[in-house]
Structure 1
Amino acid sequence: MNRLRARSTRWIPLLALWPVLALADGVAVRYDATTAPFPSNRWTVPDFGNATLRRVNLPKPDCAARPSDCADIDVINTLDGFSTQPRFTVPFTGDIDPTSVGSDSIYLVNLGDVLTLRGFGQKVGINRVVWDPPSKTLAFESDELLQERSRYLLVITNGVRDASGKKLKPASFLDGRDPQQRELRDALPMARGGGRNVVAASLFTTQSATGDLLKIQRRIKASTPAPMNFMVGNGGSVRALFPVAGLQGIQFNRQTGTAPAFTPSFLPTPALQVVPGAVGQVAYGRFDSPSYQNAAKVIPATDTLTGAPRLLGSETLTAQFFLPAGPKPALGWPVAIFGHGFTDSMYGAPWTVASVLASQGIATVSINVVGHGGGALGTLNALPTAGAPVQIPAGGRGIDQDGNGSIDSTEGVNAAAPQTIVSSRDGLRQTVVDLMQLVRQIEVGVDADGDGAPDLDPGRIYYAGQSFGGIYGTILLGVERNIKAGVPNVPGGSITEIARLSPAFRILTGLSLATRQPVLLNLPPTPERPVPLNFDENIPLRDQPPLINTVPGAMAIAELLDRNQWVQQSGNPVSYAELIRRDPPAGHAAKPVILQFAKGDQTVPNPTTSAIVRAGGLKDRVTYYRNDLAFAGNPGIPKNPHTFLTNIGVAAAAPLAVAAQTQIAVFFASHGATVIDPDAGGPLFEVPIQGDLPEGLNFIP
Structure 2
Amino acid sequence: MVRVRARLLLAGATFSLFSFAALAAGVSVRMDDADPSTAPFPSNRFTVFDGTQNTLRRVNLPKPDCSVRVSDCQDIDVINTLDGFSTQPRITVPFTGDIDPATVNSDTVFLVNLGDTLTLGGLGDKVGINQVVWDPATRTLVFQSDQLLQQHSRYLLVVTDGVRDAAGKKVQSGGNGDEFGIAVGRGAAGADYRRELRDAVRGVRSGDRKIVAASLFSTQSATTELARIGRRIRQSTPAPVNFNIGTTDQGTVQALFATASLIGVQFQRQTGTAPVFTTSLLPTPALNIVPGAVAAIAYGTFNSPDYLTPGKYMPATSTLTGEPQPQGTGSIVVQIFLPAGPKPAQGWPVAIFGHGFGDSMYGAPWVVASTLASQGIATASINVVGHGGGPLGRLIVLRPSPDATVAVPAGGRGIDQDGNGTIDATEGSSAAPPRSVISSRDALRQTVVDLMQLVRQIEAGVDVDGDGTVDLDAQRIYYAGQSFGGIYGVMFLGTEPSIKAGVPNVPGGSIPEIVRLSPVFRPLGGIALAGRIPSLINVGGIQFNENIPLRDQPPLVNTVAGAMDIQKWFDWQQWVQQPGNPVSYAAQIRKQPLPGVAAKPVIIQFAKGDQTVPNPTASAIVRAGDLTDRTTYFRNDLAFAANPAVSKNPHTFLTNVTGAGAPFAIAAQMQIATFFASNGMVFIDPDGAQPFFEAPIAGPLPEVTNFIP
Q: TM-score, normalised by structure 2?
A: 0.94
1:22 & 1:340 partners in 2: Cα distance? Answer: 62
**Corresponding position of 2:66:** 63
User: Are residue 406 (structure 1) and residue 422 (structure 2) matched?
Assistant: yes
Distance 2:558 2:125 in 1: 31
User: Which of 670, 673, 678 is the matching residue for 1:670?
Assistant: 678
Pairs within 5 Å for 1:308-327: 308-327=323-342
Report SS of the residue matched to 2:253.
Answer: coil
Alpha-carbon distance in 2 for matches of 1:24, 1:408: 63
Matched residue count: 678
Task: Kindly indicate whether the alpha-carbon contact (under 8 Å) linking 1:109 and 1:190 is maintained by their aligned counterparts in 2.
Answer: no
Deviation at 1:73, TM superposition (A): 0.1
Question: Structure 1: how far apart are the matches of 2:501 and 2:495?
Answer: 13
- Alpha-carbon separation, structure 2, partners of 1:19 and 1:625: 63
Quote the offset at 1:25 in angstroms. 3.0
Conserved? CA contact 1:253–1:263, under 8 Å: yes
Q: Tell me the CA shift for residue 18 of structure 1.
A: 11
Aligned to 1:28: 28
Question: Is the 1:475–1:577 contact (alpha carbons within 8 Å) kept by the matching residues of 2?
Answer: yes
Deviation (angstroms), 1:178: 1.8
Q: How does 1:384-423 map to 2 (within 5 A)?
A: 384-386=399-401, 387-423=403-439
Shift of 1:312: 1.0
SS at match of 1:630: helix
Cα distance, 1:19 vs structure 2 = 14
Q: How does 1:457-468 map to 2 (within 5 A)?
A: 457-468=473-484
User: What is the distance in 2 between the residues matched to 1:55 and 1:575?
Assistant: 20
Identity %: 68
Matches within 5 A, 1:199-598: 199-234=212-247, 237-386=252-401, 387-524=403-540, 532-598=541-607
Q: For 2:474 and 2:123, how far apart are their aligned partners in 1? A: 40
Post-superposition shift, 1:224? 0.3
| SS state at 2:479 partner | strand
Aligned 8 A contact 2:31 2:183 in 1: no
Q: CA deviation at 1:554?
A: 0.2
Whole-angstrom distance in 1 between the partners of 2:533 and 2:54: 34
Q: What residue in structure 1 maps to residue 9 of structure 2?
A: none
Q: Which residue of 2 aligns with 1:91?
A: 94
Q: Deviations over 1:146-185 (max 9, x none)?
A: 0000000000000000000000011221559621121101
Q: Which amino acid aligns with 1:565?
A: Q
Per-residue CA distance 1:300-346 (angstroms, 9 max, x = gap): 00100000111111100100000000110000000000000000000
Secondary structure of 2:28 counterpart: coil
Please state how far the C-alpha of 1:682 moved relative to its aligned partner.
1.1
Q: Could you say which residue in structure 2 is the equivalent of 1:637? A: 646
In 1, the alpha carbon distance for the partners of 2:682 and 2:23 equals 63
Q: Which runs of 5+ in 2 are unaligned?
A: 1-13, 175-180
Q: Identify the residue that residue 105 of structure 1 maps to in structure 2.
A: 108
SS in 2 for 1:178: helix
2-structure distance, mates of 1:380, 1:535: 42
- Equivalent residue letter for 1:281: A
Shift of the 195–330 alpha-carbon distance from structure 1 to 2, 3 Å rule, reads same
Q: Partner amino acid for 1:558? A: Q
Deviation of residue 193 (structure 1)?
3.1
After superposition, the C-alpha distances for 1:162-221 in whole angstroms (9 at most, x for unaligned) are 000000011221559621121101100232231110000000000000010110010000
CA distance in 1: counterparts of 2:258 and 2:404, whole angstroms: 14
* 1:593 counterpart SS class: coil
Give yes or no for contact 1:95–1:162 (8 Å, CA) kept in 2. Answer: yes
Is 1:159 aligned with 2:162? Answer: yes
Aligned-CA RMSD value: 1.4
Residue of structure 1 equivalent to 2:663? 655
Q: Distance in 2 between the 1:20 and 1:413 partners?
A: 61
Please tell me whether the aligned partners of residues 396 and 405 of structure 2 are also in contact (alpha carbons under 8 angstroms): yes
TM-score normalised over the length of structure 1: 0.95
What SS does the aligned partner of 2:591 have? coil
For residue 263 of structure 2, give the secondary structure of its aligned residue in structure 1: strand
Distance 1:23 1:443 in 2: 73
Distance in structure 2 (CA, Å) of the matches to 1:30 and 1:174: 9
Q: Aligned to 2:203, what secondary structure does the other structure show? A: helix
Question: Counterparts of 2:275 and 2:587 in 1: how far apart (Å)?
Answer: 45
Alignment-derived partner of residue 197 in structure 1: 210
Query: What secondary structure is seen at the aligned counterpart in 2 of 1:299?
Result: coil
| Greater mean deviation of Cα atoms: 168-177 or 540-549 | 168-177
Q: List per-residue Cα deviations over 1:401-443 (Å, max 9, x = no partner).
A: 0000000000000000000000000000000000000000000
The verdict on how the C-alpha distance between 1:228 and 1:491 changes in structure 2, with shifts beyond 3 A counting, is same
Measured in 2, the distance between the counterparts of 1:36 and 1:94 equals 14
Equivalent residue for 2:655? 646
1:681 deviation in Å? 1.9
2-structure distance, mates of 1:462, 1:25: 63
Counterpart AA for 1:642: H
Which residue does 1:688 correspond to in 2?
696
Separation in 2, partners of 1:37, 1:582: 32
For 2:276 and 2:436, how far apart are their aligned partners in 1? 27
Which secondary structure state, in structure 2, belongs to the residue aligned with residue 459 of structure 1? strand
How far does residue 39 in structure 1 lie from its aligned partner after superposition? 0.2
